[in-house]
């Protein structure tokens, strides 16, 4: 799993900002890029290498007008590494690797509403996901993304110095567990609650595995405190970081269209699926790709 990411990273040494094979259009000042004139069914190695660099640079890449069957979706995802089969999401009937992110007209809660980054509760968190729009409401259902590079860069030198020495504890228990938030809200959206036993400790500021940039790695959904701090000590600083990380200038709001695909990097962005389309159906197909261990960011001396 680690090997597959390293192997692709070895192939592509990224010269950020230099794209010879892809047409890249930044989506906002801080986060995201559209990749135009590409067919994800037929990308070659040079395009794949540059896509990895673009993911490292922009944190999330967007594609319009794709025509991906579930097999095409899987074929594209397979290029990035091993697939992480999420234990909590229902999968499609035909492809266990494809998770359904579904909200029915009679449901109140959605999956992924609220700022978060996926899988931070795993010892080796997933790299990211490839999300394909299958059924969209006529209005609403956009997804917000926020840059954790920009969030870190904008902190004061004093707070950066404090955070560089900290590690944070992340957990899945309070979200996906039998006593978790979704169950408490009466929602029966996830499977295998008994497997929500993951806790992991990661540096609060990580060196991004592709770009090497400092990235703020705590999130409101899964981070439960700083290592060695009490919950009462941790929460005020975490709350400050969460509202800081969601500042509008670090974000981009992606409006889905039929044929849209987004691929994000969990180590560089937070995302938030807006829940503003009650009474309508939204169905997305998500494939998650394994990542590698996370290292603390070490600033140049
Ligand atoms: C997610 O958090 O994976 C869901 C994102 C979305 O549905 O837009």
Predicted local confidence at residue 88, as pLDDT: 76
The rounded Å distance from CA 272 to ligand 1 centre is 7
For residues 190-219, average pLDDT: 86
Atom of ligand 1 nearest to the CA of 112: 2
pLDDT value at 135 more than 80: yes
Three-state secondary-structure class, residue 153: helix
118 catalytic per annotation: yes
Q: Is the CB of 271 under 6 A from ligand 1?
A: yes
Predicted local confidence at residue 178, as pLDDT: 56
pLDDT value at 239 more than 90: yes
CA distance linking residue 194 with residue 235, whole number of Å: 27
Nearest Cα residue to atom 2 of ligand 1 = 112
How many helices (DSSP H) and strands (DSSP E) are in the chain?
8, 16
pLDDT value at 185 more than 60: no
The rounded Å distance from CA 46 to ligand 1 centre is 28
Q: Is the CB of 101 under 6 A from ligand 1?
A: yes
Predicted local confidence at residue 199, as pLDDT: 84
Q: Is the CB of 261 under 6 A from ligand 1?
A: no
Predicted local confidence at residue 14, as pLDDT: 80
Pairing state of beta strands 60-63 and 128-135?
Answer: unpaired
pLDDT value at 125 more than 90: yes
Quote the mean pLDDT of the chain: 90
Tell me the two tokens of residue 161. 């110095």
Three-state secondary-structure class, residue 94: coil
Locus of tokens 């790695």: 217
For residues 48-59, average pLDDT: 96
pLDDT value at 217 more than 70: yes
Q: What angle do CA 158, 161, 167 make, to 5 degrees?
A: 130
For residues 246-270, average pLDDT: 98
Phi, psi of 167 (to 5 degrees): -125, 150
The rounded Å distance from CA 261 to ligand 1 centre is 12
The residue annotated as part of the active site, out of 116, 170, 208, 282, is: 116
Nearest Cα residue to atom 1 of ligand 1 = 112
Predicted local confidence at residue 180, as pLDDT: 58
Predicted local confidence at residue 172, as pLDDT: 82
CB 267 within 8 A of CB 136: no
CA distance linking residue 172 with residue 190, whole number of Å: 12
Q: What angle do CA 241, 125, 183 make, to 5 degrees?
A: 75
CA distance linking residue 217 with residue 236, whole number of Å: 16
Phi, psi of 8 (to 5 degrees): -70, -35
Predicted local confidence at residue 2, as pLDDT: 34
The rounded Å distance from CA 112 to ligand 1 centre is 5
For the chain, what percent of residues have pLDDT higher than 90? 82
């Amino acid at each position: 799993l680690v090997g597959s990411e390293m192997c692709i990273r070895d192939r592509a040494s990224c010269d950020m900002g230099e794209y010879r094979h892809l047409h890249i259009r930044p989506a906002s000042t801080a986060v995201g890029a559209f990749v135009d004139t590409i067919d994800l069914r037929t990308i070659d190695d040079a395009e794949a290498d540059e896509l990895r660099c673009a993911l490292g640079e922009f944190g999330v890449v967007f594609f319009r007008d794709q025509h991906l069957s579930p097999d095409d979706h899987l074929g594209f995802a397979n290029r990035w590494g091993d697939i992480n089969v999420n234990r909590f999401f229902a999968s499609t009937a035909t492809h266990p690797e494809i998770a359904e992110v579904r909200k029915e007209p009679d449901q109140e809660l959605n999956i992924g509403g609220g700022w978060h980054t996926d899988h931070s509760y795993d010892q080796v968190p997933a790299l990211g996901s490839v999300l394909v729009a299958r059924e969209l409401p006529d209005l609403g259902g956009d997804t917000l993304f926020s840059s954790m590079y920009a969030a870190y860069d904008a902190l004061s030198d004093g707070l950066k110095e404090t955070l560089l020495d900290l590690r944070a504890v992340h957990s899945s228990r309070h979200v996906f567990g039998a006593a978790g938030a979704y169950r408490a809200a009466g929602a029966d959206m996830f499977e295998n609650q008994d497997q929500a036993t993951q806790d992991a400790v990661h540096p609060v500021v990580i060196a991004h595995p592709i770009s090497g940039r400092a990235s703020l790695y705590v999130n409101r959904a899964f981070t439960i405190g700083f290592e060695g701090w009490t919950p009462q000590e941790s929460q005020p600083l975490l709350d400050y970081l969460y509202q800081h990380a969601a500042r509008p200038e670090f974000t981009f709001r992606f409006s889905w269209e039929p044929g849209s695909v987004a691929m994000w990097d969990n180590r560089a962005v937070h995302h938030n699926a807006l829940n503003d389309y009650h009474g309508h159906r939204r169905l997305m197909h998500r494939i998650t790709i394994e990542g590698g261990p996370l290292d603390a960011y070490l600033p140049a001396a």
